[in-house]
Amino acid sequence: MYTVIGATKSRALRVLWTLEELGEPYTHIAAGARTDEARTYNPLGKIPALVDGDAVLTDSVAIMTYLADKHGKLTAPAGTIARAHQDAMTLWLVDEFDAILWAAAKHSFVLPEERRVPAVKDALKFEFERSAAVLSDRLEGPFLMGDDITLPDILACHCLNWAVGAKFPRTDDKLFAYAKALRDRPAFQAASAK
């Protein structure tokens, strides 16, 4: 059985949601970032972490990819063109959504107050809006990669939710409906309730 370390209102939700979609059992330790409990699993205190036997894995996207590959769900097979397209979408989301939101968070509450530059958030919101428009144009079916949910959908929805919490501008109706449909999934509901 897996153990997931990390508060639900963090990137740990991505891992919890992935496990729920996979139908795999796990235990959850709702440790906050930089707490002593989090440092037990990651010396930097970063969350999430996943314990699988004797192995401790870190970074939400790496954990999600490991789980999907291990269980053969939520992903195209490694070494296929479909997987290359999926990986390209995942990396684009990390660059164009996750990194922007993380930069805004750092300048809101993560960095020491004297190191924050609140004015940068306006530029980050602009970048996010531009990226959201691109994502909306790329969304052609019920999911980013076609007819089935894959890891990029979990990542995109988590970032879209994060953007709402960070008071970023609302996305267009197409992306709003896409994220709502993902949030309505039983696996998302179960993960969010942790």
Same structural domain for residues 44 and 104?
Answer: no
Strand 2-5 with 49-52, pairing: antiparallel
Assign 65 to helix, strand or coil: helix
Q: Which of 11, 76, 70 is nearest to 46 (CA)?
A: 11
The answer on 104 and 142 residing in a single domain is: yes
User: In the structure encoding, which two tokens stand for residue 74, read together?
Assistant: 């939520």
Residue 88 sits in the same domain as residue 35: no
Same domain, yes or no, for 94 and 165?
A: yes
Tell me, yes or no, whether 110 and 167 share the same domain. Answer: yes
Domain shared by 140 and 155, yes or no? yes
Smallest CA-to-CA distance from 61 within 93, 32, 83, 33 is with 93
Contact by Cβ (8 Å): 20, 191: yes
SS3 169: coil
CATH of the domain at 147: 1.20.1050.10
Alpha helices by DSSP H, 106-166: 120-138, 151-165
pLDDT of residue 69: 98
**pTM greater than 0.85:** yes
* Shared-domain flag, residues 113 and 95: yes
Asked whether residue 89 falls in the same domain as residue 46, the answer is no
Cα gap 54→140, rounded to integer Å: 41
Domain of residue 46: give its range: 2-74
The answer to whether the CB of 168 falls within 8 A of the CB of 128 is yes
State whether 132 and 51 are in the same domain: no
Diameter of the chain by CA atoms?
Answer: 48
Cα–Cα distance measured from residue 160 to residue 154, given in angstroms and rounded to the nearest whole number: 10
Report angle CA 56, 46, 9 to the nearest 5 degrees.
105
| Overall number of domains in the chain | 2
Question: From start to end of 6-118, where are the E strands?
Answer: 26-29, 49-52, 55-58
| Under 8 Å between Cβ of 140 and 66 | no
Which DSSP category does 146 fall into?
Answer: B
Specify whether 138 is located in the same domain as 112: yes
* 178 and 85 part of one domain: yes
Domain boundary among 56, 74, 92: 74
pLDDT of residue 44: 94
Residue 102 and residue 180 share a domain = yes
Nearest to 4 by CA among 18, 16, 17: 16
Question: Domain end: 43, 74, 105, which one?
Answer: 74
Domain boundary among 15, 43, 74: 74
Residue pLDDT tens, the chain, 194 long? 999 999 999 999 999 999 999 999 999 999 999 999 999 999 999 999 999 999 999 999 999 999 999 999 999 999 999 999 999 999 999 999 999 999 999 999 999 999 999 999 999 999 999 999 999 999 999 999 999 999 999 999 999 999 999 999 999 999 999 999 999 999 999 999 99
Which CATH number do you get for residue 67?
3.40.30.10
Q: Which helix (H) or strand (E) holds 5?
A: strand 2-5
